[in-house]
Structure 1
């Protein structure tokens, strides 16, 4: 088709930075019209969080992929509700395609924009693309949303007949984007002036669609079989590390599902797919509770006597609590934008129960520092750890950071990787360096709170909260 003789259609990329298994892109190609591939970045600083950095790099990777196909990604900065209508008006576009978003802000923006474009006579085609099940589709027999993961996943798994993932569309035709708003910004400009703290994470990551699939293949080949047994040990290469790619859509849950099922690894595969299910459960909760990141889902915790502890909070954020496993996790987070899942639970328990700091402080810090920050999974997991969610670990279940360290990092490999002050410690000293009488030599801090004292304080606060409730 001659792209100069046909009005283009707009494909608006958001958290779906891929070509394969992209229903919006596939439908746009099937329209027979040439494509304008568009990404809209909010106005303001390019990079204020780790996720901002990850997205900027990922957008650049998608642009490179499109250029290899003969197109490009047209990047704009500003409000989508202003840019998209202007773009379709100047280009005389009659169709816009996007994959649906389910977070409160994205959903509200898309609803308003869809109505605006329809008033202009533009057909808007919105399709699913980031979940196995859209959030409102998995319901109990009574038609109610599930409050317990096990029941949710049994119901979801009973309907687990997912179509084969779509290939990269063939014969994509791209139109030159001649009529552009003033807000246009070349994709490379999004990563030219990123702050130093962000670029320090660069050696730990790759960003392209093909990188996501290479990681999935490697995980299936070398780790999936023993995933159920090894996943809790942070020094082992036993997890998929696919969460950032899922967050911005370089890979889809359906692609992962089919690849894992095809591998035929029973125990490890089933456990890994249940983790995909946990993510689905989080999105179903966010759909029902748009304020999931700010409101206790169990209202009895509204009277919890949380402590205001700025000094303790900073020690936790910077990995200076004096508990090696906690500090290793927080330093890994700061340096890489990621943290092992078992360690995430340990550091969350420490903040909420050892320091008795409101879980929302931790949720905000993770939102700032995680490259895989997910607006559904992050608050749900924090509420799970704090005992405030619909399905949560009981508040009185207080993780002992020393026992967790001894059990899941027995030889201290993970700790030594991220806490270099302790490299010279041997044996059990790595878990309790304050008992080795070598803190002054290592420069490592003493514990900011005694475990026994912290545990007693947390249980007393929990009892007081129950009395008030």
Structure 2
């Protein structure tokens, strides 16, 4: 068998620079073969024009071209289960160790445990590293131990812990000459995997000074480009997280930094409470008698509820794979509170549509609007679509873009009357949580 090599397994870190696991792999004495697995366990559940698969594939081709052009290397891509791929790799190559960056979702943890065990049986070491967060697992805890269940004290402790560390990049880009010299490693087209190119494109992110300086004033206004559009890039690691945190610090923008900390808070919650991916964090909320009317759910999905701000948000989601954060709260509250449809239905629909889908943030956000999660809005807080419009889209610029027929006879009447829906919600929730 040929000389030993290391494998670096890309997952949520689709970049060659400032990549901790890649840096650690490249820093040794063995050449490193980059690897990406289109995991059948995940892809088999997805629509054939899934925008995320297209995005990942495009990013892989960019990295592949860079490695081919500058280092005579490449990225080996496979479409199978991780177990089958590693069994094949162990037959084809003399692998010294496998390196990767940690993932904290329940499926990912089970997957990595299986691969670790498989490699160990064959005398191959498995090394994983922290890359997509500043603090992980139990690194931000109460003084007496245990996870914070309220964001504000978690955020304050996060900032205290941050003062103790030296935030520095992992310059993997400086060591790419140590990649495995083979420019013709296995490659796949989308059609090879039974997929087609999505018409939805990932937005470019914006970390310009002007945006960060004005972030607190503009982030809630959906008609203007007041947010960074970072979320898909953070989700797939096409931008280094340490770079983003550094930008927030340089801008001295607490609101922007706090949004990044929210992301870590939800990751920590899901890590400690993996059951919350499909169960209410507050168990009594699983006693709610949801109406779960499928016809009403379809109207909500299509953006045909008769509430322009709700419909605009859903149409933005369906057409772009992204929805403004303020509107995530508005459409989520409408589904759970006005229609009394289980938050899990909404979470699953977002999981299908969102280019930036992140289980921890999505579950956390949906449980927040439903009142069932950690540090959630109280159940009696019901977003009023009309007052939300007055506050955040008063001139209806956003509504006019996505629901141009909203003031015509072609637009449907509201599918439910707000006052009645609010009272029905309060009665239903009260019966569940106070019984």
Q: Which TM bucket (shorter chain)?
A: over 0.9
Is the 8 Å Cα contact of residues 322 and 448 (structure 1) preserved in structure 2? yes
Report the 3-state secondary structure (helix = DSSP H, G, I; strand = E; otherwise coil) of the residue aligned with 2:37.
strand
Is the 8 Å Cα contact of residues 131 and 252 (structure 1) preserved in structure 2? no
- What is the CA–CA distance in structure 2 between the aligned matches of 1:395 and 1:190, rounded to whole Å? 46
Q: Which residue of 1 aligns with 2:62?
A: 61
Is the 8 Å Cα contact of residues 2 and 94 (structure 2) preserved in structure 1? no
Q: Which residue of 2 aligns with 1:402?
A: 386
How many corresponding residue pairs? 427
- Displacement of 1:46 after TM fit? 8.9
- What is the CA–CA distance in structure 2 between the aligned matches of 1:178 and 1:411, rounded to whole Å? 55
Is the 8 Å Cα contact of residues 148 and 391 (structure 1) preserved in structure 2? yes
Report the 3-state secondary structure (helix = DSSP H, G, I; strand = E; otherwise coil) of the residue aligned with 2:57.
helix
2:290 is aligned with 1:288: no
Q: Which residue of 1 aligns with 2:133?
A: 131
Q: Deviations over 1:175-201 (max 9, x none)?
A: 355998xxx5x2434689644xx6221
Q: Which residue of 2 aligns with 1:308?
A: 292
Q: Which residue of 2 aligns with 1:83?
A: 85
Q: Which residue of 2 aligns with 1:165?
A: 169
Is the 8 Å Cα contact of residues 104 and 290 (structure 1) preserved in structure 2? yes
Q: TM-score, normalised by structure 1?
A: 0.86
Report the 3-state secondary structure (helix = DSSP H, G, I; strand = E; otherwise coil) of the residue aligned with 1:132.
coil
Is the 8 Å Cα contact of residues 147 and 390 (structure 1) preserved in structure 2? yes
Q: Which residues in structure 2 correspond to 1:219-230 (within 5 Å)? A: 219-230=207-218
2:35 is aligned with 1:38: yes
Shift of the 66–420 alpha-carbon distance from structure 1 to 2, 3 Å rule, reads farther
Deviates more, 1:111-120 or 1:144-153: 111-120
Is the 8 Å Cα contact of residues 292 and 376 (structure 1) preserved in structure 2? no
Is the 8 Å Cα contact of residues 74 and 184 (structure 2) preserved in structure 1? no
Structure 2, unaligned stretches of length 5 or more? none
2:423 is aligned with 1:456: yes
Is the 8 Å Cα contact of residues 91 and 179 (structure 1) preserved in structure 2? no
- What is the CA–CA distance in structure 2 between the aligned matches of 1:179 and 1:113, rounded to whole Å? 25
Q: Deviations over 1:177-227 (max 9, x none)?
A: 5998xxx5x2434689644xx62213xx25xxxx6xxx3xx4332211111
2:368 is aligned with 1:416: no
Report the 3-state secondary structure (helix = DSSP H, G, I; strand = E; otherwise coil) of the residue aligned with 1:188.
coil
- What is the CA–CA distance in structure 2 between the aligned matches of 1:55 and 1:292, rounded to whole Å? 27
Q: Which residue of 2 aligns with 1:425?
A: none
Is the 8 Å Cα contact of residues 303 and 465 (structure 1) preserved in structure 2? yes
- Displacement of 1:6 after TM fit? 4.0
Q: Which residue of 1 aligns with 2:221?
A: 233
Report the 3-state secondary structure (helix = DSSP H, G, I; strand = E; otherwise coil) of the residue aligned with 1:69.
helix
Q: Which residues in structure 2 correspond to 1:181-260 (within 5 Å)? A: 186-189=187-190, 194-195=195-196, 199-202=198-201, 205=202, 215=205, 218-260=206-248
Q: Which residues in structure 2 correspond to 1:268-417 (within 5 Å)? A: 269-417=253-401
Out of 171, 175, 180, the position equivalent to 1:175 is: 180
- Displacement of 1:5 after TM fit? 7.5
Report the 3-state secondary structure (helix = DSSP H, G, I; strand = E; otherwise coil) of the residue aligned with 1:320.
coil
Is the 8 Å Cα contact of residues 303 and 313 (structure 2) preserved in structure 1? yes
- Displacement of 1:137 after TM fit? 1.5
- What is the CA–CA distance in structure 1 between the aligned matches of 2:212 and 2:368, rounded to whole Å? 26
- What is the CA–CA distance in structure 1 between the aligned matches of 2:192 and 2:228, rounded to whole Å? 26
Deviates more, 1:301-310 or 1:369-378: 301-310
Q: Deviations over 1:286-340 (max 9, x none)?
A: 0111122210111111221110211110000000001111001000000110000
Report the 3-state secondary structure (helix = DSSP H, G, I; strand = E; otherwise coil) of the residue aligned with 1:219.
coil
Q: Which residue of 2 aligns with 1:430?
A: none
Is the 8 Å Cα contact of residues 19 and 170 (structure 2) preserved in structure 1? yes
Is the 8 Å Cα contact of residues 51 and 199 (structure 2) preserved in structure 1? no
What's the Cα RMSD here?
2.2
Report the 3-state secondary structure (helix = DSSP H, G, I; strand = E; otherwise coil) of the residue aligned with 1:291.
helix
